[in-house]
Amino acid sequence: MLFTSTYGSAILTQPDYRVDSELLEALPPLPQDEDGPVFSEPWQAEAFALAVKLSEQGYFSWKEWADALGAELKAASDRGEPDDGSHYYRHWVAALEGLVETKALVDAPSLENRKVAWANAYRNTPHGKPVVLDQQE
């Protein structure tokens, strides 16, 4: 599936977005094909890119990221959730949220407020139109 997605000023086009294979190998099993990571929806690529970018900028190491994701996937397994890959990127986002809170990159109330703002914007955006969030101070 081809798509282009924007995150901030970055534009990701799935086949052109490559991550060092060593980084991918450090992660729990990642949905991928011969060209690299596979995303079924744009938000998945954006979540992936956000984790990569935050690691590249030194907010956490890739090992810390892989450990956080592995812990989230284990917790899901311990809860009895199916391991069929259908919720992989939801676990990715949960791990990312936990890590940015642990690293004090965002506090829990700010994160929750942003999630509520996103849900409201999503519900009030006409079908087929991009969801736009107001800039927060």
For residue 50, give both structure tokens. 């956000």
Encode 87-105: b = buried (16+ Cβ within 10 Å), e = exposed.
ebbebbbbbbbebbeeeee
Say if residues 87 and 76 touch (Cβ distance below 8 Å). Answer: yes
For residue 48, the tally of other CB atoms under 10 A from its CB is 21
pLDDT in tens, 38-82: 788 888 888 888 998 999 999 999 899 889 999 999 999 999 988
DSSP bridge partners of 7? 10
Q: Can you give the pTM of this predicted structure?
A: 0.66
Torsion angles phi and psi, residue 127, rounded to 5: -55, 135
Please check whether the domain covering 4-123 is classified as CATH 1.20.140: no
